[in-house]
Amino acid sequence: MEQQLTFVLLDSPKGAKTVETLDPPSFSSSVASSSSIDRRHRTFFKFFVYLSLVALAYYFIISSFTVSPIPPTLPDTSSANGSSAKCDLFTGDWVPDPSGPLYTNLSCHHIQDFQNCLLNGRPDVNYLFWRWKPRDCDLPRFSPSQFLDSVKNKWWAFIGDSIARNHVQSFICILSQVEEVEEIYHDKEFRSKIWRFPSHNFTLSVIWSPFLVKSETPNNSDIQLYLDQLDPKWTVQYPKFDYVVISGGKWFLKTTIFHENNNITGCHYCQARNNLTDLGYDYSYRKTLNLLRDFVLNSTHKPLVLFRTTTPDHFENGEWNTGGYCNRTMPFKEGEAKMKTVDDVMRDVEIEVFQKFGKGFGLGSNIRLLDTTGMSLLRPDGHPGPYRHPNPFAGVKDKSHVQNDCLHWCLPGPIDSWNDVMVEAMLNRERELYDLIGKK
């Protein structure tokens, strides 16, 4: 974090009186000369001390600066103290961080009530004091002021479901510590929004598109998924964006009917309704991601696209609607956590689809995986749990009847580290492009 140092130079102790003594006229000239020399020595000493403090302040201020997210000159990718394009940002450990989050629920006004764990009375705070540390490099905490300076006149979009909204709120909370953001648009349901940071002309969007493809729910019946048509809510805006973070997953577990080439081809969890074949959620998810991948590759517009991988939940002894809960207060260590089958399948689909880009997704490619699955799996302590509302146990005799949220994340909380990884992934792509252009 940027530091501000204030130096106060005191001439005399606070409250001390200054007494001026005049020399009597009977003093000799030698005494007068000696007094004059002493005064010059004192003046020189004060001036020397002043210059020393100024120099010391300058040293500390300069040494507190961090590297800009997008340097104007050639990035140094060989530094052992920072991340590089060769660093695996997604394999690491959560380590103690006594400095805590960059914001609080009091300094950020953009936290949804369901994720405002401190306001809702969560009693422990240990979950706030960890940071993600990749194994083979350092991951700097990104500087919001320098980030905003680097994305002037740019547009950044998050596309997905409520986890994408959770993520964008974390992002805004960090950035709003530098400049308060203005909301300039929201849809009727307040699910899709657009904000602007006025002094940087930086625009930020979240677009509600939980399936990423076109979907309809006529008369509150089963969800109809069109697996050969991406959702126009985000594709028509795509040419505006400079950076895009896309995510999906959990909504594909719902009961859905599949449409392809103007025909119903199957379903998921439809229980043989209308003699349809249950093809499974992995079928629709794979079809969707292949369509998404081809769209990004074939589009003439080339923003940086980060596909964020699936987010595992941490419900124990049940699911969200069957008494499942999450009451852990410490991160898992490596080997202590195991993903549920549905999350494992989704992640396998994601890796399968995006590995088709080739090793490294192709030098200079505009798409990357934001592989937050592993780091998120290790944080069972970062969810609201029962603290979705203030005082959730007030007047409740059976605490097991209180619904828990073990999927979304407290703000502030572990999801804030997604932003450090996200910004570094963006920086790595900038380095790659610089190297690619420099070699031509």
Which residues form the catalytic set?
162, 405, 408
Strand order in the sheet with 256-260: 213-216, 223-230, 256-260, 263-268
**What would the DSSP string read from start to end of 273-334?**
GGG--B--HHHHHHHHHHHHHHHHHH-S---EEEEEPP-----BSS-TTTT-B----SPPPT
Nearest to 383 by CA among 103, 104, 166, 115: 115
Phi first, then psi, for residue 288 (nearest 5°) are -65, -45
CA atoms within 13 A on the CB side of 350: 22
Question: Tell me, what DSSP letter sits at residue 407?
Answer: S
> Is the Cβ–Cβ distance between 423 and 147 less than 8 Å?
yes
How many whole angstroms separate alpha carbon 288 and alpha carbon 211? 8
- The tokens describing 307, both together, are 């596909």
Omega within 30 of 0 (cis) for the link into 412: yes
